[in-house]
């Protein structure tokens, strides 16, 4: 049976649940994610959207879409970002109890606000299979 992880927003009013493993995990350095999170880099963990559920407090969740490609969901703080075109949802790893975040790459590293020399691949924008150039940046 697949692993299930549960988490909550900052105040605890919204509860979320994800099932299975996140096939894509890493760090995003794009300006939109930095502004959304208020941090110089954000951690992401993407699950198929049908593996993500709001189990309590859905009435407190607001959705904002700047570009039409990403639907950022929040209550008093950031919860997740749905990517309908990809059928994936990014649930912020720090919200999930017991989840072992295992980053595999940096994306949008060409826009970075700080260097993170950690040996992981660093894509200038996105991997080619995700619609990016596939170009990497040297640490």
Question: pLDDT, tens digit, for every residue of 2-39?
Answer: 899 999 999 899 999 999 999 999 999 999 999 988 89
Q: Is 85 within the bounds of a domain?
A: yes
- Tell me the backbone φ, ψ of residue 121, rounded to 5 degrees: -60, 140
Instruction: For residue 135, tell me if it sits in a domain.
Output: no
Which secondary-structure segment (H or E) carries 80? strand 78-83
Residue 111 is predicted with a pLDDT of 95
- pLDDT at res. 80: 94
**Hey, what are 125's tokens?**
């924008």
Range of the domain at 21: 4-130
DSSP element (H, E) containing 31? helix 31-37
User: For every one of its 139 residues, what pLDDT tens digit does the chain have, with 9 covering 90 and above?
Assistant: 889 999 999 989 999 999 999 999 999 999 999 998 889 999 999 999 999 999 999 999 999 898 888 899 998 888 999 999 889 999 999 999 999 999 999 999 999 999 999 999 999 998 888 888 999 999 8
Residue 139 maps to a domain: no
Q: How many CB atoms lie within 10 A of CB 12?
A: 11
105-107 and 24-28 strand pairing? parallel
The pLDDT, as a whole number, for residue 76 is: 81
Residue 17 forms beta bridges with which residues?
Answer: 6, 53
CATH code of 114's domain: 2.170.150.70
On whether residue 23 sits in a domain, the answer given is yes
126 closest CA partner among 117, 118, 135: 135
Contact (CB, 8 A) for 62 and 79: no
Question: Which two structure tokens, joined as six digits, stand for 72?
Answer: 């950022």
> How many domains in the chain?
1
Assigned domain for 21 exists: yes
Q: What's the pLDDT score for residue 129?
A: 83
CB atoms within 10 A of CB 101: 14
| pTM of structure | 0.91
Whole-number pLDDT of residue 92: 93
Q: Is residue 137 part of a domain?
A: no
The pLDDT value recorded for residue 132 is 87
Question: What is the per-residue pLDDT for 131?
Answer: 81
DSSP-derived 3-state class of residue 106:
strand
The answer to the question of residue 138 being in a domain is no
What's the sign of the alpha-carbon dihedral 81, 84, 85, 91? positive
Q: What is the pLDDT of residue 36?
A: 87
């Amino acid at each position: 049976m697949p692993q299930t992880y549960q988490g909550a927003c900052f105040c605890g009013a919204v509860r979320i649940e994800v099932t299975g493993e996140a096939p894509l995990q890493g760090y995003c350095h794009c300006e939109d994610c930095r502004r959304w999170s208020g941090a110089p880099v954000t951690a992401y963990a993407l699950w198929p959207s049908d593996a993500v559920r709001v189990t309590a407090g859905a009435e407190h969740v607001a959705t904002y879409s700047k570009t039409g490609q990403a639907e950022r969901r929040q209550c008093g703080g950031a919860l997740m970002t749905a990517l309908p075109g990809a059928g994936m949802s990014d649930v912020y790893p720090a919200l999930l109890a017991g989840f072992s975040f295992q980053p595999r790459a940096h994306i949008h590293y060409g826009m970075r606000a700080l260097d993170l020399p950690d040996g992981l691949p660093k894509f200038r924008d996105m991997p080619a299979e995700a619609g990016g150039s596939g170009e990497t940046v040297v640490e």
